[in-house]
Each structure stands twice: as structure tokens, then as C-alpha cells.
Structure 1
Amino acid sequence: MPDPGPSPLQSGLPAAAAGFGAALRHADLRTADIPPADISPALGRILGGPSGLGTASLHLGRREAAPEPPPSPGAPTEGNPIPGLYHHPVPEPDPVRVEEVSRRIKSWAVDEVELYPAEWEGQFDGFSVGRYMVACHPDAPTIDHLMVATRLMVAENTVDDCYCEDHGGSPIGLGGRLLLAHTALDPLHSTGEYQPQWAESLHVDAPRRAYRSAMEYFSQQATASQADRFRHDMARLHLGYLAEAAWAQTDHTPEVWEYLVMRQFNNFRPCPTITDTVGGYELPADLHAQPAMQRVLALAGNATTIVNDLYSYTKELAAPGRHLNLPVVIADREGVSDQEAYLKAVEVHNDLMRDFEAEAAALAAACPVPSVLRFLRGVAVWVDGNHYWHQTNTYRYSLPDFW
């Protein structure tokens, strides 16, 4: 593992960031047109990124796709990237860590939270969540830190499957189910008479058991502000689930911009927002809440979620019912062919990715504080690791024949 650099927990604004908020209100943060000579040393460091296993993709200022690196020993040969998709390749994740995380997460799922019946075991293994999380968090100092992210990812996927989609999910009654599950993350504070009944409810189904346990582990590793930040982003996620469910119940196809609104909430944002917890440090709440940082996180979540729309396109077409995704909505609302809609969705993703990189580089220049720079690098590698997992997970995904 590379030396991740200093990672002390910070409870307030570093001195170097004292004027950050005021500066942002008066600055144009877009740096796409800044000549190289004007890039500050701190910005140069973040544009270059650290070196070492899993960090080659941390180059926030790139405007053209980087050349493919030489294959790592043991790199998977399956999975081709979507032609024309703007992305950055990452080295093959550490196989020792992948194996250990995979072993631990299955033990947690089977023994601690009774997550799935025996007939779902193949699907759980095919998700390859260990490879996913190791690729997304190469700077995690320990396996325990990686497990924080891995449990939460599995729990979120369980809620999506069991409440919304693949395994008995339905839009009917979703609001009530999500509200009760959300209390496993954001606990009820009630009277002595009713509190025990609520506590018992957290064990009645796999989604609530998974949320409760994953949040308990996360809270042991996170600071109070990091835990509160995560709860807020999970509420965003659940709001997005509800919007999609409402459209399903009324058989409504949203306008493209409306779909993108929904996807800004129903997206991967809770995953990169915990990158500092998984890395063993804290981005102070004051800095995380800045509008510029919130924009970076929103763009990262939006781009990575469109990646999911694109790679899962054929999987969703083959599933029962009608699944909304960006190509489907574009085809319906803009009156173009399935192929044209898919290729336009690729362009939407590419625009989001370039905006994410420009805004992140601009923020690094405006606030060259170590925790900010490290957090931005971590979000960038999460974005790249998310693409890597989608590209290589041929158990779940295959590409349409559009090229």
C-alpha cells in the first residue's frame, strides 16, 4: 500500500482554510481555461495525484482519456469499456485484500444479519463486492476500514433489491418500508413504552437487519459529523427511490431533465461521501458543507450513476416490467432510436465527468488544505473504481450491440 500521507482527525477548520468561504463567494471556480503556468503547486499535486497501487487514476485535471496502463499481473481479461465512454483505467485491486474483504463480507451476511436465503448465494458472490470496494478505496489503512464501506454497500443493495426491485420489491407501500428502514440509520427517540417495539422491528427483515448492523459498525469508525453526513445522504437516496416508485405507479415517463433530477438523489452519492471515514481521517464538516464541495460530490454521484444506467441497460431490458434508465427516457422523450438514445446517454455521462473533474480541480486550487486535497483525490478514485467494477463485472452486465 502507498503511504496515504497524514490523516489526523480534524474537528474544525484548518487555519489555512479560514477565508475559504469568503473566497469562494467571489471566485470563478472553473479552471478549464487556466494555462499550466498558472496552476498552483497544491493544484499541481492534486492533478498529478499520488503514486502506488490503486492510485494511478487520481488525476483531476485531465481533459482527455489517459492511455490504458499495462495489464497488472492477474488482471481480469473479461469486460470491455463502453466505446466512447470517458473514464480512467485503474490498476487491478490488491488480490489479498479482495479475498479477505470477500471472506469477511460473506461471513457478515450469512452469520450476523442472515441477509439472504441459500438460493441467492450465487448472486451474492457474483456481485463481487470485495473487488468493488478495494478498487474504490485503495488508501484504506486497514481491512476494518474497507469493511465499513463494504457492509454499507451490501446493505444499500439489499434495500434496493428487497424493497424496490429484484427480490420482491414493489413501488406500492415503499414509503412506509423505507421510513422504518431509515430508522436503523437515524434512530427513533420515543417513550419507554414504545421504544422496545421499535428496537425489535430492526430485526424483522434482511434490509433492516443489514442497515442496523452496517450503521453500527460505521458509527464505531466515524466521527459524529461523518455519521450525520451519511444519514443525510441516505435520506436523499430514499427520496430518489420514492420518486421513481411514484412514476412506476402512475406509468409516467419523466422528461429527461426530470429523470436526471431523480438520479441526483437515487444515486451512488452515499458511497463517495464516506471516503474520508474509509481513509481513516476526516474532512471537517465546515468544508464538506461548502457549496463547491457539494457540487463536486453531486457531479461525482451523477456521473457514476449514469455509468450504472449504461452498463445495466441490457440487464434491465431483459428483466420483467419496464425499467427507467437514461437511454430509455431519452428514446421515449426525444423520439430517437434506442441506439441514438444510448449514445446520447454516453455523451451526458462524459459531460458530467468533465464537469466533475473541472470543479474538483478548481476547488483544490481555491482551498489547498490537506484534508480537502485528500478527500478530492479519494472521490476521484472512487469514481474510477466504480467504472472498473461495472466494466469487469460480466456476471451482471453486458453491452448492447450498438457499435
Structure 2
Amino acid sequence: MPVPAPPPAQSRPPSAPGPGPLTHGRGAGSVPGTGGGGLPGPPSLPFSAPAAAPVSVPAPVSVTVDEPGVGPAVNPVPQGAAAVRTAPSPVLERILRGPSGLGTAGLYMTRHEEPPAPAQPAAAGNPVPGLYHHPVAEPDPVRVEEVGRRIKAWAVDEVELFPPDWEDQFDGFSLGRYMVACHPDAPTVDHLMIATRLMAAENALDDVYCEDHGGSPVGLGGRLLLAHTALDPLHTTTEYQPEWAASLHADAPRRAYRSAMQYFVQEAGHAQADRYRHDMARLHLGYLAEAAWAETDHVPEVWEYLAMRQFNNFRPCPTITDTVGGYELPADVHALPAMQRVIALAGNATTIVNDLYSYTKELASPGRHLNLPVVIAEREDCSVRDAYLKAVEVHNDLMRAFEAEAADLAVSCPAPNVLRFLRGVAVWVDGNHYWHRTNTYRYSLPDFW
């Protein structure tokens, strides 16, 4: 049953309810495409940006260097110590660079929307000391501006996502910079908007249903279920269908979910759309687990918290990298256990990045917010500083596991679309870190070093 069209547009009264500022603290954390040429072959992974030189995938061999920030992987440490860089694997670099030879030129993308942007100065923001990550090139400012303009128009004019007094906080979320950094191979701005709308909708629901802008653990399951029907339509009788259809316009999260999903399914294949619905169900399950702990004032064991974060995490975002890139990874390939492990590890690592960068922000907000440093401190009876530093190491272990598993899969299944998808997931991981590091409007680091 198709999702119904919205009712006639109405002016929004000044007191109209809407979600608070996008928090991105507990959740995942997105116009139909207009073409875009052939599929690009995957350059080396991790990948920074289309115009940048490929960066090699690190192998699990560390060497000491004198200057932090040099090379494909950066692991800055407190002052007085050397940074750790991981040496690249020539074999893996060759595999992930992509196909070559006769007949493969059409797999490489050339963008035609706008001329190359001039070089930009590095964005503000310091990385978490000791955090294993890969630097990326600054996102294309032309695309950043256009995506930012379009998502603001969608949020205000199409779905009434937030009231006017929260406009500065919506702007401070920097959705355009976020999504351009995470999807530099998107053929068009229309493709970028697929991810951007979904990201905005996911975070609006998190704010309104789960967080401090009207959210509560009480009754969360019912709210999530009804919102999920905006993604996975209700198939019911003729008598009750109109009531369900009307409910999709009842609040900002449902309006946003419904609209973003309509745009998404116009570009995505059927399997891609169902994949996204499944990952959003995972996300909502994670929300419910955290809500249950909040209602019972339960601090989980560290492993329990990490289990929750495997569901309440960014997974829906990198898993649509092929749709945003204008191609499709076959459903049977996406479902391979090895591919599922790669995607899960990527989601887990990027979510711990959020725990680390949003740590001080969450401490300053009302109530107790569960994040990995808080759980480690309580369950392992250590100082908040030691718990935070251990959380950094947990992230680093997850990142290295993600890269190792991606490398193994690239070797065992070197098909061009598989390599491109793995590259896209790695790009998303790096872009997610870039956004957290540079969003000084939202985040600041604790004084632990």
C-alpha cells in the first residue's frame, strides 16, 4: 500500500510543536536522482574525497613516527609521546584501488554538476587524542552549501521539522557538511539529498521521542511503532487505512520519516528499501533497550551497553551508501555474514566516536546519559578519565577489526561493486569522524590530557 500524499499545505502557527535541535547523541545517528554517469571503481580504502589522492588501507603493523597527522591513519596521543601510524598493505591497496584494464573505464565516475572547488583551509576542531582515525579532504563547499540550502527548505516548507526559535540549532548541526563528507562519490546533489533527508528525520525522531526535547522512555514503544509505519507502510483494511494515513502527519518525526522515505524509494531498489527498513527497526530496538534501562535506573554491564549500541547506532546511514552512490549492491551479497560483520563493526566504531565527542555535551544536559565512558567508570570502578581513555581504546579495537574484516572480504570477493561498497562504508566512517571533530558548535573535548 503506498504511503498517502500529504494533506494540503497549511501555514504553521507560531506555537506549532516540532522537534528540538538535532542531537545525534543516541541515534544513528536522508529528490530522486538525476543521472550521474558510470559507476566509479573503488580507490584505496579509507578514501578521503573524489579529488584527493587515494589513501592506503592500513595493515595491522604499527610504526612510530615523529609527526602526528602524517600518513593514511592518525592516532594522536597526549603531548610528550609519539603518534602511532599504521603502515599500509601494498596487496590490499592494489585490491581496493579497483578494477583496471580494458572495459573498466566506465566504472569510474566523473562529476558534471559543478567545476572543482578551490582548495579550502582545514576546518576547526581537534581530534580526540589517541583516537585511531583517517584524515579526509575538506568536503566540496559548493555541494555543502547547496545541500544545506535544500535540507533547510525541506525541513521548513515540506515537513515543518522544527519551530522557528530552534533554527540556529538546526543550522549548527551542519547537515550539508556532514553528508557531503560522508558521501563524496554521490553522482548528484539529488543523490546526496537522499541521505540528508533520512539523517534529518532520524535525528528529529531521536530528539522528540527519546531525548530532552520532549522525549521520554515512558510509552516510547508505541510512538516508535507508529512512526515506523511511515517507513514500512501499514497494510490494513479500507475502513481503517484513512486513519493511519492521517496519523503520518500528526507530528514532526512522522512527517519527516514519511517524506524522506518517499524520496528514498524513488531512487532505491526494492531490496535496498527493505534493507533500510530492517536497519531502522534495529535502531528502534536499540532505543527501546536504552529506554527500558532508564525506566529501571539500570546501568548495564559494558558488554551489555555495547550490545545495545550495536542496534542504537549509525548503521542505517552507511548501509545505504550504494543508493546514494547511484548503484546497488545485490541483496544476496549484502546479506553475506562477512558483509554484515563489516557493516556492524563500522556502525559500532562510528557510534563510539559519538560517545566520545558528545561526552561533555551529555554531561551538561539534564539527567544521566549512558555513554561508554560513563558505563565503564561505573561498572569497572575507575576514574572518569581512565574510563574515557579506555573507551578510546575500545573504539580503536573496533576500527581495526572493521578494517581487517573489510580487507579480508575484499580479498575473498573482489567484485567491483563489492569493492566500491566497502570503500563507501569506509568513507562514511571517516566522514562521520570528520563531522564530529569539526562541529565545534556542538562538541568540545573533556580536559583529560
**Fold equivalence (TM over 0.5):** yes
Q: Is the Cα contact below 8 Å between 1:98 and 1:131 reproduced in 2?
A: yes
Aligned residue among 35, 49, 52 for 2:50: 52
Q: In the alignment, is the contact (CA less than 8 A) between 1:60 and 1:361 conserved in 2?
A: no
Partner of 2:135: 89
Check 1:393–1:144 CA distance in 2 against 1; reply closer, same or farther (3 A cut): same
Q: Deviations over 1:376-400 (max 9, x none)?
A: 0000010000000000000000000
Tell me the amino acid that sits aligned with residue 293 of structure 2: W
Counterpart amino acid of residue 384 in structure 2: D
Please give the residue correspondences for 1:76-155 in structure 2 after superposition, counting only pairs within 5 Å: 76-155=122-201
Contact 1:56 1:90 (C-alpha < 8 Å) held by counterparts: no
Contact 2:46–2:423 under 8 Å retained in 1: no
Provide the residue aligned with 1:334 in structure 2: 380
Q: Residue 7 of structure 1 aligns to which amino acid in structure 2?
A: L
What's the offset of the Cα at 1:167?
A: 1.0
Contact 2:48 2:136 in 1 (8 A): no
Gaps of 5+ in 1: 9-41
Give deviations 1:192-244, integer Å, cap 9, x for gaps: 00001000000010000000000000000100000000000000000000000
Asked if 1:225 is matched to 2:271, the reply is yes
Amino acid at match of 2:39: S
Q: Summarize the Cα distance change of 1:55–1:296 in structure 2 as closer, same or farther, 3 Å threshold.
A: farther
- Name the stretch that deviates more: 196-205 or 58-67: 58-67
Determine if contact 1:93/1:134 at 8 Å carries over to the other structure: yes
Q: How many Å apart are 1:5 and its aligned residue?
A: 8.6
Find out whether 1:277 has 2:309 as its counterpart. Answer: no
Q: Which residue of 1 aligns with 2:251?
A: 205
Distance 1:60 1:216, change over 3 A: farther
SS at match of 2:262: helix
- Tell me which residue corresponds to 1:360: 406
Which residue of 2 is the match for residue 321 of structure 1?
Answer: 367
CA contact (8 A) 2:52 2:137 kept: yes
What is residue 390 of structure 1 aligned with on the other side?
A: 436
Cα distance in structure 2, aligned partners of 1:54 and 1:210: 34
Deviation at 1:67, TM superposition (A): 1.5
Say whether residues 1:177 and 2:175 are aligned partners: no
% identical aligned pairs: 77
Higher relative contact order (CA 8 A, sep 6+): 1
* Matched ranges for 1:238-277 at <5 A: 238-277=284-323
Deviation at 1:59, TM superposition (A): 2.9
Q: CA deviation at 1:166?
A: 2.7
1:302 to 348, 370, 391: 348
CA distance in 2, matches of 1:331, 1:216: 43
CA distance in 1, matches of 2:187, 2:219: 41
Deviation at 1:78, TM superposition (A): 1.7
Alignment correspondent of 1:345 = 391
Distance 1:57 1:185, change over 3 A: farther
Distance 1:316 1:362 in 2: 37
Q: Deviation digits for residues 130-188 of structure 1, max 9, x if unmatched?
A: 00000000000000000000000000000000000031110000000000000000000
Partner of 1:34: none
Return the match for 1:67 from 64, 70, 87.
70
Is the 1:255–1:333 contact (alpha carbons within 8 Å) kept by the matching residues of 2?
yes
Alignment match, 1:7? 39
Alpha-carbon separation, structure 2, partners of 1:337 and 1:242: 29
Match of 1:16 in 2: none
Structure 2 counterpart of 1:142, one-letter code: T
Q: Which amino acid aligns with 2:50?
A: G
Distance 1:55 1:386 in 2: 19
Which letter does structure 1 place at the counterpart of 2:412?
A
Q: CA 1:277–1:123 in structure 2 vs 1: closer, same or farther (change >3 Å)?
A: same
Partner of 2:104: none
Aligned partners of 2:162, 2:445: CA distance in 1, in Å? 28
Distance between the aligned counterparts of 2:182 and 2:413, measured in 1?
24
SS in 1 for 2:353: helix
Q: Deviations over 1:255-309 (max 9, x none)?
A: 0000000000000000000000000000000100000000000000000000000
Kept in 2: contact 1:149–1:271 (CA 8 A) = yes
How far, CA to CA, are the matches of 2:293 and 2:227 in structure 1?
22
User: CA RMSD, aligned part only?
Assistant: 2.1
Structure 1 stretch displaced more, 134-143 or 50-59: 50-59
Q: How many residues align?
A: 364
Distance 1:179 1:336 in 2: 38
The equivalent residue for 1:13 is none
Q: Which amino acid letter does the alignment assign opposite residue 394 of structure 1?
A: T
Query: Comparing both structures, which one devotes a greater share of its residues to helix?
Result: 1
